[in-house]
Structure 1
């Protein structure tokens, strides 16, 4: 599933090609995504100039003077910069065509993604209004995590994967961050002290930034805007390495299920 680094990689990849350009047309080949693509989207976007390409959590926000286009990549989606004459792939569902002929093409094999529109303040949209802070922002830190964790018996891994607490810390990045902070993923969130949460928040920022810098994680079929995979998977310390030696202490990496998700950790390093 594309997570925050993959979405941020996509944002950075598409922005230079479309920012400041006007939508000339929208071609909807498959309107049945996670939510229906608005039937009037082609007429709504026609002639509007794209003023900003931003991200909130795992949502891409394409802002115009009349409103905001919300894009979500779902489980398997990707965005490609292309031209109208390029052959379509099987699951190319929506084309956003700009006035210079540039095409932003939305592909989603599983159709769990979204293409939505709002003419209201985007931060009040139901999909965004209750999201927690961005993990790379100043609003997110150890003091904040510590305050959120008080009296919680849930596993710390579940805490940091809760989008109401903090956005964008998906399964891979939660496992990697907890390893870097030397915290066992199944420890009760309320039993962890402030100093450990300071370490964990710093680890989350480090892991996410490293992944962004390396272009996202090559899992399943994530592709960037040029149709190329990310490379962060080459740097994973614990995720997907069950039975292999820990890179720090040589103990075998273990796996357990937390919240129905596979969690990887080192029993020697993480307490």
Structure 2
């Protein structure tokens, strides 16, 4: 499933094509994805101007001049494709290749604006993604956004904040970090990477990083820094090649080539001087990759 850096890269890739453009028509080729499209979705969107694109956790937000916001989630296999004339590009970079098979094109935004007409096409073979629409002033009350924790790149995320959330918890550290009410948008891949950078075992209890008086231990300070750094590096890698939103091959960054533990079972740990190998275990149905030699 696309994680926060991939969705941020998609947002940045779509912005030049969508921001300021008028939606001449929204074309829906089926009635549902993971959930049914909102009632009168085409009528609510067609004829509106896109005033900006944003992101909250793993959700793409498309702000309209009507005061409404489209909330889009890519699910397991969803992607957006930009087409203008004969050129086509798929913004974003994912661990698995995204589909360009037109039979899976389920929603098409027919746009017009500076640079001429273009199409932004939502493609989703497995249809686990979805779109919703809500009043921008009430986004926090959306069932998809309600109760989300702070962004991993924002100032609200701190060691003191996590100490308050983790105090007394026997929950494994990895599971605690994947709780979207604790940190919004942090997913399996980047939790593994952040824990490796912080040299912390994913099976270690979350409460072990907090003192008896509720203060963060030094390991928790390092973890917060590692979370920030791994997300920033992933966003930079994904966005570093965003030069023109119309690219014939759709290529962007490839942060997965820089993974240190994720999907590297049996390979040498990349910590200098470690000498260990990457192991894999399953936690709550998800693969966890780590090095037992340097993560404690």
Which band: TM-score by shorter chain?
over 0.9
Instruction: Give the Cα separation in 1 of the matches to 2:284 and 2:101.
Output: 38
Task: State the shift of 1:230 in Å.
Answer: 4.0
Task: State the shift of 1:228 in Å.
Answer: 2.8
Is 2:281 the partner of 1:264?
Answer: no
Instruction: Give the Cα separation in 1 of the matches to 2:122 and 2:181.
Output: 27
Gaps in structure 2 of 5+ consecutive residues: 89-99, 211-215, 240-244
Task: State the shift of 1:225 in Å.
Answer: 8.2
* Counterpart residue number, 2:278: 253
Task: State the shift of 1:142 in Å.
Answer: 1.2
* Counterpart residue number, 1:79: 80
Task: State the shift of 1:153 in Å.
Answer: 0.9
Gaps in structure 1 of 5+ consecutive residues: 217-223
Q: Root-mean-square deviation (CA), in Å?
A: 1.9
1:76 and 1:110 in contact (8 A); partners too: yes
Secondary structure at the residue paired with 1:51?
Answer: strand
From 102, 109, 114, the equivalent of 2:130 is: 114
Q: Structure 1 residues 242 and 88, CA, compared in 2 at 3 Å: closer, same or farther?
A: closer
* Counterpart residue number, 1:9: 9
Task: State the shift of 1:205 in Å.
Answer: 0.8
Secondary structure at the residue paired with 2:197?
Answer: helix
1:84 and 1:103 in contact (8 A); partners too: no
Task: State the shift of 1:43 in Å.
Answer: 1.2
Range that drifts further, 82-91 or 156-165: 82-91
Range that drifts further, 158-167 or 191-200: 191-200
From 104, 107, 113, the equivalent of 1:94 is: 107
Instruction: Give the Cα separation in 2 of the matches to 1:264 and 1:76.
Output: 22
Count matched residues: 264
* Counterpart residue number, 2:219: 196
1:69 and 1:116 in contact (8 A); partners too: yes
Q: TM-score, with normalisation over the residues of structure 1?
A: 0.92
